[in-house]
């Protein structure tokens, strides 16, 4: 006996991107705990009466049952855990949540599972929702952790040139992805203040869950933004479009 069998999967996931198609259907890009980033179709989900409506809204987090179609996954069932729709009502939260989702989108290949990165995104969303952390510090910590998890972390503990342990420095090499000690030649990198260097090193060590304890001056936050902007820009296949909006927000603050 023969026949076609559907491959059905149940996984937790976050909606990182959507696109309306046809009259009532949507393309929904999920970043899932088990399957990684997947492209799905949610039939009828544009209608508010549809059972998939809430769980296929942008930023929604929930449990999803999907099966593999010819070219896309199809969402068969879903249960929202948290729709995170309050993030849409605040420009800063909306912009940063969109930016976090875009980092996921550009850093991950399709169907490449990464539970650590999935946990990072969920943690960041709850911080945004509950307003318990400086949003700029959260963003910088998220960038650092995402770079580390996806293989683009930088070494601030030892000099990238001579491998000597660095107590503190004021120079970070983009070419070698790390700090340069005061004795070695400083080429193709960024000058930073000693406090900014130490802040980057500290944020690299602590889990994202502890970022609410961190306080930084505006000057240091601006320095971290410039450094991480360049690392993000050079590490992934395209520059996040959300960075342009973040640039505008930063200028008007």
Of 146, 59, 155, nearest to 107 by C-alpha is 146
CATH number at residue 17: 2.40.50.140
Are 238 and 145 members of one domain? yes
Instruction: Give the integer Cα–Cα distance in Å for 222 and 237.
Output: 24
Residues paired with residue 165 on neighbouring β-strands, in sequence order: 158
Instruction: Give the integer Cα–Cα distance in Å for 149 and 229.
Output: 17
3 within domain boundaries: no
* Per-residue pLDDT in tens (0 to 9) along the chain, 253 residues: 344 557 899 999 999 999 999 888 999 999 999 999 999 999 999 898 899 999 999 999 999 999 998 889 999 999 999 999 999 999 889 999 999 999 999 999 999 999 999 999 999 999 999 988 999 999 999 999 999 999 999 999 999 999 999 988 999 999 999 999 989 988 788 999 999 999 999 999 999 999 999 999 999 999 999 999 999 989 998 888 877 777 776 665 5
Burial environment of residue 252 by CB neighbours within 10 A (0 to 12, 13 to 18, 19 or more)? exposed
This prediction has a pTM of 0.92
CATH number at residue 143: 1.20.1440.120
Domain count, the chain: 2
- Which of 48, 83, 118 corresponds to the end of one domain? 83
């Amino acid at each position: 006996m023969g026949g076609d069998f559907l491959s059905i999967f149940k996984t937790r996931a976050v909606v990182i991107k959507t696109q309306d198609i046809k009259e009532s259907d949507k393309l929904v890009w999920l970043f899932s705990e088990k399957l990684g980033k997947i492209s799905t179709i949610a039939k009828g989900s544009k209608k508010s009466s549809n059972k998939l409506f809430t769980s296929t809204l942008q930023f929604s987090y929930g449990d999803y049952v999907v099966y593999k179609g010819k070219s896309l996954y199809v969402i068969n069932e879903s249960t929202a855990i948290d729709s995170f729709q309050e993030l849409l009502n605040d420009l800063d939260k909306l912009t940063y949540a969109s930016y976090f989702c875009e980092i996921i989108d550009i850093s991950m290949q399709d169907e490449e599972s990464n539970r650590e990165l999935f946990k990072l995104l969920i943690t960041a969303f709850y911080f945004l929702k509950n307003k318990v952390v400086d949003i700029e510090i959260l963003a910088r910590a998220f960038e650092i952790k995402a770079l580390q998890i996806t293989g683009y972390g930088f070494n601030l503990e030892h000099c990238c040139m001579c491998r000597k342990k660095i107590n503190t420095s004021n120079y970070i090499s983009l070419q070698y992805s790390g700090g340069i000690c005061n004795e070695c030649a400083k080429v193709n990198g960024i000058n930073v203040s000693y406090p900014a260097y130490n802040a980057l090193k500290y944020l690299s060590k602590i889990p994202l869950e502890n970022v609410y304890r961190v306080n930084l001056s505006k000057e240091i936050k601006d320095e971290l933004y410039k450094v991480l902007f360049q690392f993000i820009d050079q590490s992934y296949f395209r520059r996040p479009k959300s960075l342009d909006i973040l640039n505008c927000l930063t200028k008007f603050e």
